[in-house]
Protein backbone atom coordinates (compact mmCIF):
# COMPACT_ATOMS: atom_id res chain seq x y z
CA UNK A 1 0.00 0.00 0.00
CA UNK A 2 1.65 3.22 -1.12
CA UNK A 3 1.27 6.17 1.20
CA UNK A 4 1.88 9.71 -0.04
CA UNK A 5 4.85 11.62 1.39
CA UNK A 6 4.17 12.81 4.91
CA UNK A 7 6.39 15.20 6.90
CA UNK A 8 7.70 13.80 10.18
CA UNK A 9 9.41 15.37 13.19
CA UNK A 10 12.79 14.14 14.42
CA UNK A 11 13.18 14.78 18.15
CA UNK A 12 16.46 15.77 19.85
CA UNK A 13 16.90 12.22 21.16
CA UNK A 14 16.62 10.81 17.61
CA UNK A 15 13.04 9.60 17.88
CA UNK A 16 10.79 10.18 14.91
CA UNK A 17 7.22 11.20 15.57
CA UNK A 18 5.01 9.51 13.00
CA UNK A 19 1.77 11.35 12.19
CA UNK A 20 -1.49 9.65 13.08
CA UNK A 21 -2.65 9.17 9.48
CA UNK A 22 0.63 7.44 8.56
CA UNK A 23 0.43 5.17 11.63
CA UNK A 24 -3.13 4.31 10.67
CA UNK A 25 -2.19 3.60 7.04
CA UNK A 26 0.65 1.31 8.18
CA UNK A 27 -1.45 -0.31 10.92
CA UNK A 28 1.05 0.67 13.65
CA UNK A 29 0.19 1.15 17.29
CA UNK A 30 1.53 4.27 19.00
CA UNK A 31 4.12 2.39 21.09
CA UNK A 32 5.21 -0.05 18.38
CA UNK A 33 8.87 -0.11 17.35
CA UNK A 34 9.66 0.22 13.67
CA UNK A 35 12.82 -0.12 11.60
CA UNK A 36 13.78 2.31 8.86
CA UNK A 37 15.84 0.92 5.99
CA UNK A 38 17.16 2.93 3.10
CA UNK A 39 17.06 1.36 -0.36
CA UNK A 40 18.41 3.76 -2.94
CA UNK A 41 16.55 7.01 -2.38
CA UNK A 42 13.57 5.32 -0.74
CA UNK A 43 13.12 4.72 2.98
CA UNK A 44 11.28 1.52 3.90
CA UNK A 45 9.32 1.29 7.14
CA UNK A 46 9.04 -2.17 8.68
CA UNK A 47 7.67 -3.42 11.95
CA UNK A 48 10.59 -4.33 14.20
CA UNK A 49 11.20 -8.00 14.83
CA UNK A 50 12.44 -9.50 18.09
CA UNK A 51 16.12 -9.08 17.18
CA UNK A 52 15.73 -5.37 16.34
CA UNK A 53 13.86 -4.75 19.60
CA UNK A 54 16.57 -6.60 21.56
CA UNK A 55 19.34 -4.62 19.82
CA UNK A 56 17.53 -1.36 20.57
CA UNK A 57 17.11 -2.33 24.24
CA UNK A 58 20.81 -3.25 24.50
CA UNK A 59 21.75 0.04 22.87
CA UNK A 60 19.60 1.97 25.35
CA UNK A 61 21.20 0.11 28.28
CA UNK A 62 24.72 0.88 26.96
CA UNK A 63 23.79 4.54 26.50
CA UNK A 64 22.33 4.71 30.03
CA UNK A 65 25.52 3.18 31.47
CA UNK A 66 27.69 5.73 29.65
CA UNK A 67 25.51 8.61 30.86
CA UNK A 68 25.52 7.27 34.44
CA UNK A 69 29.32 6.95 34.40
CA UNK A 70 29.66 10.49 33.03
CA UNK A 71 27.29 11.83 35.68
CA UNK A 72 29.18 9.97 38.43
CA UNK A 73 32.47 11.45 37.21
CA UNK A 74 30.96 14.93 37.13
CA UNK A 75 29.55 14.60 40.63
CA UNK A 76 32.85 13.26 41.97
CA UNK A 77 34.74 16.13 40.36
CA UNK A 78 32.22 18.63 41.72
CA UNK A 79 32.43 17.20 45.22
CA UNK A 80 36.24 17.27 45.05
CA UNK A 81 36.15 20.91 44.00
CA UNK A 82 33.84 21.75 46.91
CA UNK A 83 36.23 20.02 49.33
CA UNK A 84 39.14 22.01 47.87
CA UNK A 85 37.24 25.27 48.36
CA UNK A 86 36.38 24.33 51.95
CA UNK A 87 40.06 23.54 52.68
CA UNK A 88 41.18 26.83 51.10
CA UNK A 89 38.67 28.76 53.22
CA UNK A 90 39.86 26.96 56.37
CA UNK A 91 43.48 27.90 55.55
CA UNK A 92 42.47 31.55 55.04
CA UNK A 93 40.68 31.62 58.40
CA UNK A 94 43.66 30.01 60.13
CA UNK A 95 46.01 32.56 58.54
CA UNK A 96 43.85 35.44 59.82
CA UNK A 97 43.86 34.09 63.37
CA UNK A 98 47.62 33.49 63.45
CA UNK A 99 49.65 36.43 64.69
CA UNK A 100 51.99 37.96 62.19
CA UNK A 101 55.71 37.23 62.70
CA UNK A 102 56.56 40.87 61.83
CA UNK A 103 54.81 42.31 64.83
CA UNK A 104 56.93 42.44 67.95
CA UNK A 105 55.50 43.08 71.37
Q: Are 53 and 46 in contact (CB under 8 A)?
A: no
Q: How far apart are CA 98 and CA 75, in angstroms?
A: 35
Q: Does the pLDDT of residue 103 top 70, yes or no? A: no
Task: Indicate the DSSP class of residue 101.
Answer: S
> In the prediction, which pLDDT does 102 show?
54
Question: What residue segments make up the domains of the chain, in order of their start?
Answer: 9-48, 49-95
String of DSSP letters for 71-97: HHHHHHHHHHHHHHHHHHHHHHHHHHH
75-99 pLDDT, tens per residue?
677 777 787 788 888 777 777 765 5
CATH class of 9-48: mainly beta
Q: How far apart are CA 31 and CA 40, in angstroms?
A: 28
37-74 pLDDT, tens per residue?
788 887 777 777 777 777 877 887 888 888 877 777 77
Average pLDDT, the chain: 75
Q: What is the pTM of this model?
A: 0.38
> In the prediction, which pLDDT does 1 show?
55
Amino acid sequence: MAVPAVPVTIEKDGRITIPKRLRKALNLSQDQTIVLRQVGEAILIEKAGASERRQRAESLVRQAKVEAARDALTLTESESWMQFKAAANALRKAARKRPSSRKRP
